[in-house]
Amino acid sequence: MNITDAYNLISQKLTSWLHELIKLLPNIILAAVILAVGFFIARWIRNLAAKLIKRFSQNTSLNNLFVSIVYLTFIGITIFTALTVLKLDKAVTTILAGAGIIGLALAFAFQDIAANFISGIFISFRRPLHIGDIVKINDYMGKVEDINLRDTVLRTFQGQMVIIPNKDVFQNPIENYSLLGKRRIDMSIGVSYGDDLEKVRKVTLAAVKGLPGICEDEEITLFYQEFGDSSINFLLRIWVSTAEQAAFLNVGSEAIISIKKAYDENDIVIPFPIRTLDFGIKGGATLSEMTVNTTNS
């Protein structure tokens, strides 16, 4: 092949390409118009979606995620439509098929991350807990500091920060002490067998009535429960008007002080543990029959 033949071959090829370009020129212009209009509509839909989703969710991260998904979806539709006009849709379909296989492989590899992510989305919509709530999740109890799409952060009452994966939050029971806005103290107390139980009830209820921090809408209740080894035991239930841990502990402390003071004033005894030694049981010996040796050191 000489130079003339090579020149003619290249010229013919370029001419055919030019002809194809001219034939596709209307399609290119139409594709450009579709891209311009599509991007404009996608931005408008993104702003509309942002306003709508704020009515259902206050989670900024989740809102941004959904807005981005909506925006990218419409951008993808716009680009795919433009490529279809340019007759390049088959190539794009092949690329998307390969991307789908890769995405499936990545989903299996990062299934724990995906599970935490999906759980975070459900938590954001169901909202079983909010930032500032006092909750107990698994063995951790504290105040919710942050709720992300991947994890929930608690500050325990000892001051440690605990990061709990959202999968564990979503799949396990959540004790939320802040939903009612109040908490109950259950105090187990015992009095001696020689005390008048009606008097004990009256003195105990009077001792804790009116303490600062007690919920006035809830009744203070007292229930006798059992005959113990050295005392008759009862349960005293007091509602605290807030879920905060410091107030909860303070009301319990003041209740103990007030009850102890009232018992001392009314000669009500909280007995020490008592053990009785019986030397007269079958097979044993009475105390009078035993020899006691004492040695002076």
What would the pLDDT profile of 31-66 be if each residue is shown by its tens digit? 888 888 888 888 888 888 888 877 776 666 667 777
Report how far Cα 156 is from the mean position of its chain's Cα atoms: 14
Please report whether residue 213 resides in a domain.
yes
Please report whether residue 207 resides in a domain.
yes
Q: At what angle do helices 3-53 and 60-85 cross, to 10 degrees?
A: 150
Lowest mean pLDDT, pick from 53-67, 194-208, 239-253: 53-67
Which pLDDT score is estimated for 297?
Answer: 47
pTM of the model: 0.62
Please report whether residue 123 resides in a domain.
no
Q: Report which residue type is found at 83.
A: L
Whether 166 and 250 map to the same domain: the answer is no
CA 206/CA 196 separation, integer angstroms: 16
pLDDT (mean) for 122-136: 84
Whether 161 and 197 map to the same domain: the answer is no
Which of 109, 143, 167 terminates a domain? The answer is: 109
**What percent of the chain lies above the pLDDT cut of 90?**
33
Q: At what angle do helices 89-109 and 111-126 cross, to 10 degrees?
A: 90
Residue 261's domain is classified under what CATH number?
3.30.70.100
The residue segments making up the domain with residue 231 are 183-265
Whether 16 and 103 map to the same domain: the answer is yes
Q: Is the pLDDT of residue 145 over 60?
A: yes
Strand 161-165, strand 174-176: pairing: unpaired
